[in-house]
C-alpha cells in the first residue's frame, strides 16, 4: 500500500461549501475551514505535488492539538472556562507538558457552544459511513494512555504505528513548521489583503481545524487502514495539545 498520494484538489467541493450557518461567525468559519482544507497539504508536497500521507496525518493532528490549546487558553483568558484543572508538569528531562480534563474534552469531544463537533466525531463519522465498524477503529482511551506512557522516553511524541506508516518528520517539528503556515489562515492575514471578515476568534480555531481534518481524512480515506490513520491523527493531536512553548 503506497503512503504517498496526489494532493486532493478540492476536497470541500468548492469555496461555497457550507458547514455552519445561522450564527455571527458562520461565514468566517466556513471560509477558514475551506482554506485550511485546500492549503494544508501544500507545504508537505514533493516536486510532483504528492504528499506522504502519514506525515500529513501527523501534521493535521499536531495542529489540531495546538489549536485546541490555543482555543482553551483564549476561553480561560476571557473568563469563559475555569483554570483550576489545568496543570503543567515538568518531566525529568526538563520538558513541560500541559494536562487537564477540559483540554482533552475540547480536543476529542468538542463543545456545542463553540460549534465544535470534536476531533473524534470528525474522524469516526467518515469511517463509519465508509463501512468501518467500531471494531475497526482505535480505542480513544488507549490513545491517551499510549501518548502519556511515551512522555519522557525515546518514543515521546511518536505515534504508535508500524514503521511503514511512520511520519517522516517528528510531530513536534511538524507542529512548529505547520503553525507558521497555518496561523495566518486563522488570522486571515495575507500579504496582498486581509480576509473579508477579519480574523477568526481564537476560541474557534479548534472548531475550524477539527472539521478541516475530518474533511481531509475523508478525502484520503483509502490510503491506509482507518485504525492506522486515526492513530496517527489522534495521538499527534493529543501530544500537540500538551506541548508548552518555552
94 vs 120: which has the higher pLDDT: 120
Q: What is the mean pLDDT of residues 84-107?
A: 89
pLDDT band at 8 (very low <50, low <70, confident <90, very high): low
- Is pLDDT at 2 greater than 60 in this prediction? no
Angle 105-106-111 (CA atoms, 0-180°, nearest 5)?
A: 110
Residue 233 or residue 4, greater confidence: 233
**Following CA atoms 32, 119, 19, 17 in sequence, which dihedral angle do they give, to the nearest 10 degrees?**
60
Phi, psi (degrees; rounded to nearest 5) at 186: -60, -40
Decide which of 77 and 12 is more confident: 77
Which H or E run includes 5?
Answer: strand 4-6
User: Where is average pLDDT lowest: 9-13, 118-122, 220-224?
Assistant: 9-13
Phi, psi of 25 (to 5 degrees): -95, 10
* Residues 128-150: tens digit of each pLDDT: 999 999 999 999 999 999 999 99
Phi/psi at 88 (5° precision):
-105, 125
Positions of E strands within the chain: 4-6, 50-52, 87-90, 96-99
pLDDT the model gives residue 83: 87
Q: What is the pLDDT of residue 6?
A: 65
Ranking 68-82, 85-99, 172-186 by mean pLDDT, the lowest is: 85-99
Segment 221-236 shows an average pLDDT of 96
pLDDT tier at 244, thresholds 50, 70, 90: confident
Tell whether the torsion through CA atoms of 86, 213, 47 and 54 is positive or negative: positive
Task: Report pLDDT for 85.
Answer: 83
Q: What is the pLDDT of residue 4?
A: 67
Out of 46-50, 62-66, 70-74, 109-113, pick the least confident.
46-50
What's the pLDDT score for residue 19?
86
The chain-wide mean pLDDT, for the chain, equals 91
Structural contact between residues 70 and 78, judged by C-beta atoms closer than 8 angstroms: no
Q: Classify residue 100 as left (phi > 0), alpha (psi -120 to 50) or beta.
A: left
User: Which residue, 40, 62, 41, is CA-closest to 52?
Assistant: 41
- Phi, psi (rounded to 5 degrees) for 20: -115, 150
Domain boundaries, the chain: 23-242
Structure confidence at residue 13 (pLDDT): 37
Q: Which of 199, 243, 212 is nearest to 65 (CA)?
A: 243
Query: What is the spatial distance between Cα 246 and Cα 240, in angstroms, rounded to a whole number?
Result: 14
Amino acid at each position: 500500500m503506497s503512503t504517498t498520494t496526489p494532493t486532493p484538489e478540492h476536497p470541500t467541493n468548492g469555496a461555497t461549501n457550507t458547514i455552519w450557518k445561522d450564527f455571527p461567525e458562520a461565514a468566517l468559519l466556513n471560509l477558514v475551514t475551506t482554506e485550511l482544507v485546500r492549503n494544508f497539504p501544500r507545504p508537505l508536497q514533493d516536486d510532483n505535488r504528492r504528499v506522504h500521507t502519514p506525515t500529513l496525518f501527523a501534521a493535521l493532528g499536531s495542529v489540531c492539538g495546538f489549536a485546541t490549546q490555543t482555543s482553551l487558553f483564549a476561553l480561560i483568558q476571557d473568563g469563559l472556562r475555569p483554570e483550576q484543572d489545568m496543570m503543567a508538569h515538568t518531566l525529568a528531562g526538563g520538558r513541560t507538558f500541559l494536562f487537564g480534563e477540559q483540554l482533552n474534552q475540547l480536543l476529542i469531544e468538542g463543545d456545542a457552544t463553540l460549534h465544535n463537533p470534536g476531533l473524534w466525531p470528525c474522524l469516526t463519522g467518515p469511517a463509519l459511513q465508509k463501512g468501518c465498524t467500531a471494531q475497526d477503529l482505535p480505542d480513544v482511551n488507549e490513545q491517551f494512555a499510549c501518548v502519556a506512557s511515551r512522555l519522557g522516553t525515546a518514543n515521546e511524541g511518536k505515534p504508535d504505528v508500524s514503521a511503514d506508516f511512520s511520519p517522516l518528520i517528528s510531530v513536534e517539528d511538524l507542529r512548529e513548521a505547520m503553525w507558521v503556515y497555518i496561523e495566518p489562515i486563522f488570522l486571515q492575514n495575507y500579504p496582498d489583503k486581509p480576509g473579508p471578515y477579519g480574523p477568526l476568534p481564537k476560541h474557534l480555531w479548534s472548531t475550524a481545524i477539527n472539521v478541516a481534518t475530518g474533511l481531509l481524512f475523508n478525502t484520503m480515506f483509502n490510503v491506509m487502514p482507518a485504525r492506522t490513520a486515526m492513530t496517527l491523527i489522534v495521538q499527534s493531536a493529543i501530544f500537540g495539545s500538551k506541548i508548552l512553548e518555552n
